[in-house]
Amino acid sequence: MLAIVAPGQGAQSPGFLTPWMELPTFADRLGWLSAVTALDLVHYGTEADADTIRDTAVAQPLLVASGLLAALELFPHPADAFGKIGAVAGHSVGELTAAAGARAITAEQAMVLVRERGRAMAQAAAQTPTSMTAILGGDREEVLAKLEQHGLTAANDNGPGQIVAAGTVEELAALADDPPAKARLVPLSVAGAFHTRHMAPAVDVLGKLGRSVSTHDARTPIISNRDGRVLHDGRDVLKRIITQVSNPVRWDLCMETMLDLGVTGMLEMPPAGTLTGIAKRGMKGVETFALKTPDQLDEARAFCDKHGSAKHGSTNALDTAPTWRMLVAPMKGTFRRGTDAAEGDSLPAAATIGTVASSRDETEVTAPHGGTVVEWLVEDGDLVSPGQPLIRLHPEGVPS
């Protein structure tokens, strides 16, 4: 199974889009997205220096644009991608790239949201001197206890041996004086404590904008940063992206879900390297591909063919059936039915069809649009995998 992932802020480097500008379609599309955001993304991606593109209001739109446009070069006919890609995910702002790539929102909506996200986060960061520090190594529980002791948040949990602490400058200084045993601290050059309570003002801004964004159910399963759950309801995808600004990124749980799904290959969109590097430590046995320059496109397509679903004779359930007719498991666990509805019975909108329980937590599965039960695809008490179809529904009045 193939997973496509998009990196977050910090992955950019000066001039990383220069080779991509040799592709006429990429250059034209980047000009269009520059107009959408009212930012000169061509300049920022080719000529601007490191300090300039470190600015949150610049870095975030630049990252989303680069990922989306590279995906269009990788899959010139986007419909071909949906039969190959088993799941998509993005780290932090990369979730907007993933959401647009899965068609939960449009590219233009993603670019407007990321423009305002970057601005709002930069403004929130300016209110209090905050920052972030990577903690490499050490015992996980001891690291988390030390962060709690100093009032810090584990803003990014990137898997074994890599947690990013975030908080005020004073709190981080106290951590530096009293670090966890056998851990190395690396201060990060960022503008603020992202994915913490300090970003609450940005959530308010995005929440107001989000009310006017039309969404669609994702064509490809999206793995959420919040808890690693598999999403397909476009409204849920958007809500989580908005609230994630002030909540920790659980990339460790995203990788865990990819392994549960049976991912064998992970391809990272440009500026690639960060997430594939983490995967080499946290996803042993999974082949990775870091797409950095356009001269890798043929090799990247071969990688997608090797790991893509269509290669193995199967297709994406969310592609073969419209997602509003198929409900899937959000995570790995035991399914318990929450309704006695049988084939032919009607379910109202927002009806709960059951729950999926794991050793970690329990999640309700609801039918956002309701409909007529065509068939149950699992039984009460069955063990299910992330993204596994649970029930097939038809809208009221549509024959099955």
- Out of 286, 312, 338, a domain closes at 312
**288 lies in the same domain as 234:** yes
* CATH number of the domain within which 326 lies: 2.40.50.100
Structural contact between residues 258 and 286, judged by C-beta atoms closer than 8 angstroms: yes
**One domain for residues 330 and 249:** no
Tell me, yes or no, whether 219 and 263 share the same domain. Answer: yes
Number of domains in the chain: 3
388 shares a domain with 240: no
281 is a domain residue:
yes
Q: Let me know if residue 399 belongs to a domain.
A: no
DSSP alpha helix (H) spans, the chain? 24-37, 41-46, 50-54, 56-74, 78-82, 94-101, 107-127, 140-149, 169-177, 200-210, 234-243, 251-261, 274-282, 297-307, 317-320
Tell me if 11 is assigned to some domain: yes
**Residue 133 domain-assigned (yes or no):** yes
CATH number at residue 145: 3.30.70.250
Together in a domain, 182 and 205 = no
The token pair that represents 391 in the structure block: 């029930």
Are residues 282 and 255 in contact, defined by beta-carbon separation less than 8 angstroms?
Answer: yes
**Gap between the Cα atoms of 312 and 154, Å rounded:** 39
Return the pLDDT at 80. 77
Give the per-residue pLDDT at 30: 97
CB-based contacts of 56, cutoff 8 Å, min separation 6: 9, 118, 121, 122, 125, 190, 191, 192
Examine the residue annotation and report whether 216 is marked as an active-site residue of this protein: no
pLDDT of residue 324: 55
Domain end position, chosen among 295, 312, 329: 312
- Per the domain annotation, does 108 fall within a domain? yes
Question: Tell me, what CATH number does 214's domain have?
Answer: 3.40.366.10
The upper half-sphere exposure of residue 27, i.e. CA atoms within 13 Å in the direction of its Cβ, equals 8
Does residue 117 sit within a domain? yes
The catalytic residue among 66, 92, 246, 309 is 92
- This prediction has a pTM of 0.85
Helix (H, G, I), strand (E, B) or coil at 76: coil
Give 299's contacts (C-beta < 8 A, 6+ positions apart).
289
Q: Could you tell me if 238 and 359 lie in one domain?
A: no
Edge to edge, what strands does the sheet with 351-357 contain? 362-367, 351-357, 333-337, 383-384
Whether residues 44 and 67 share a domain: the answer is yes
User: Is 231 within a domain?
Assistant: yes
Residue where one domain finishes, among candidates 249, 280, 312: 312
**Same domain? 296 vs 341:** no
In a domain, 400, yes or no: no
Q: Which domain holds residue 135?
A: 128-187
What are the backbone angles phi and psi of residue 288, rounded to the nearest 5°?
Answer: -125, 155
What is the chain's Cα-based Rg? 21
Give residue 314's pLDDT: 42
CA separation, residue 51 to residues 38, 43, 64, 191 (Å):
20, 14, 19, 11
Same domain, yes or no: 214 and 293: yes
306 plus 330 within the same structural domain: no
Looking at the structure, do residues 116 and 26 belong to the same domain, yes or no? yes
Catalytic residue among 66, 131, 150, 195: 195
92 carries an active-site annotation: yes
The pLDDT value recorded for residue 143 is 96
167, 30: one domain: no
Could you tell me the mean pLDDT of each successive run of 10 residues in the chain, 400 residues long?
A: 95 97 97 97 97 94 98 88 91 97 95 96 94 94 95 94 95 96 91 94 96 92 94 93 96 95 96 95 95 98 88 45 70 93 90 91 88 92 90 68
